[in-house]
Homo-oligomer: A and B are copies of this chain.
Amino acid sequence: MIQGLGPCDPGSNPGTLTKNINRYKRTLMNTEVNQNKMAKEDGITSKKSKNFSEWYTQIVVKGDLADYSPVKGCMIIKPSGYKIWENIQAYFNIILKKYNVKNAYFPLFIPESFFKKETEHAKGFQPEVAWIANKEDERLAVRPTSETIIYDTYSKWIRSWRDLPFRLNQWCNVVRWETKATKLFLRTREFLWQEGHCVYSTKEEADKEMLLILKEYQKLCHELLAIPVLAGKKTEKEKFAGALYTTSIEAFMPENKALQMGTSHNLGQGFAKSFNISYLGKDEKLHTPWQTSWGISTRLIGALAMMHGDDKGLVLPPRIAPIQIIIIPIFFDKDKKKVLKVANKIKDFLKDFSIEIDKREEYTPGWKFNEWELKGVPLRIEIGPKDVSKKQVVLVRRDTSEKQAIKIKDINKKVSNLLEDIQKNLFNKANQFLKESIVKVKTWKEFLKAVNNRKLIRAPFCGDISCEDSIKDKTNGVKSINIPFDSNPEGYCVNCGKKAAYEVYFAKSY
């Protein structure tokens, strides 16, 4: 083994070592780095349309969002990926403020007895809990979700109608001991999320705010991530363990699989009863309140990569991109000063955007083009000596590769419009795909045909858990996604032929 490279950890991406060795070799032969294009193995070597899974791993790892970790099932979120998460946090913290939800922090550990208090919840989460082997009398779980530890506290804090509505949120890490293969951002044993936990005096209030949050999640996906999502209610089989009912937003990925992007639960009064949460009403009697909980996670970053990425790497929507604009100055020694001066001026003009200049001299412009395309930066500005003399720059869109020369004096407005256009274009493309993926069926034959075509199927359904199990068995894993809010309850269940309760979206999912 080459000294200094370190062992290839069993948990790490098999591609990493190869990549490292190659980088090492190139470093040794400095001239090789200075070729016009990035070495092939540093770019994306799989096609989105051919080997989606390998392509996804490559754009995430090589696009610098995340890396595999030596701890099996866990991931490392790299600075670009973490910045996307910070952008989501910043956006959502404003929403939280609007609804008067305050941030707080509860312990990572949950006593075992707490889980047992809400039977359904315990049944749902116990299998994937990681336990601490410490010297305490009682086993401690590493939180897979925090309902139980938080509601125990709420039983002490909430006393009277004056305390309601009571609304808290926490940003934290959670752990679910997945046994299936790791998929960066989508299925890891640890992930980051926010979990909101609210308490109301009536079911109506809980229903209303649960839905408001779901709509905010939908808006976040549409406006920030440029990912269209379907809002609806989960079936009995798929609802959150312990909830009265669950609503969700769901995206359909280019691999023709549905991805749950966020959930908002009306927990009913079950947790309140199990954890002794009650409040004194204006009528001076004790009442049991209603509760909601809701969450989105770092999974959204994976969705972002999957949805918009292409065979050259990531394609990030401008509103969420860590770097919105990259300036590549192009020069030989004699023009260097002149070109860099203009580059700096442009950066200053555009200081309201997240913008950087790639001034590195050890890489060629061509190499840099490839690297920033790989990282998904929405807009590239090229400035060469000729551009300087013409008082222009060249703008290159990441999403369409369109190139245009524009006068420097118009740059602010032009860039602003272009970024908005890129944002819209990405949403529209994704929305077009979603629309084309949906197939409405009425019969089992049509259903099976749609399954074979890997569609997002909208079908009348009876609502029975056993019937849903049967569909899953007969289709090698097709699951209910959610019940659209505009569901039409007419017709007959696509599987059992009983009177339908509602329409349901069905698909393979992550």
Contact = CB atoms under 8 A, between A and B. Distances in A.
A28 interface: yes
Interface string A272-301: 000110111000101000000000000000
Given A16-B156, A23-B159, A362-B162, A76 B106 contact: yes
Contacts of A81: 104
A230 B268 CA distance: 53
Contacts of A104: 76-79, 81-82
A501 interface: no
A20 B156 contact: yes
Interface stretch (A129-137, A221-229, A461-469): A129-137
A27 interface: yes
B134 A177 contact: yes
Nearest to A148: B70
Nearest to A74: B107
Oligomer copy total: 2
A6 B81 CA distance: 43
A496 interface: no
Contact of A82 (B105, B131, B156): B105
A28 B280 CA distance: 8
Contacts of A67: 153, 156-157
A13 to B, nearest CB: 10
Interface in A158-192: 159-160, 162, 168, 172-173, 175, 177, 189-190, 192
Given A134-B130, A177-B134, A280-B27, A82 B107 contact: no
Interface string A88-127: 0000000000000011111111110010000000000000
A3 interface: yes
A280 B103 CA distance: 45
Nearest to A2: B286
Contact of A105 (B4, B76, B109): B76
B130 A130 contact: no
Main secondary structure of the interface of A (DSSP, over half): mixed
A8 to B, nearest CB: 9
Contact of A71 (B27, B111, B155, B177): B111
Given A74-B109, A107-B69, A284 B102 contact: no
Contact of A153 (B69, B130, B172): B69
A12 interface: yes
Contacts of A175: 108
B276 A4 contact: yes
B140 A132 contact: no
12 contacts: A3-B278, A4-B279, A6-B275, A69-B106, A74-B107, A76-B104, A76-B105, A82-B105, A109-B189, A131-B132, A132-B132, A132-B142
Given A4-B276, A78-B104, 18 more contacts: A6-B275, A20-B156, A24-B159, A27-B159, A69-B106, A69-B107, A70-B152, A71-B140, A75-B107, A76-B106, A79-B104, A81-B104, A82-B103, A108-B190, A130-B132, A131-B132, A142-B142, A173-B173
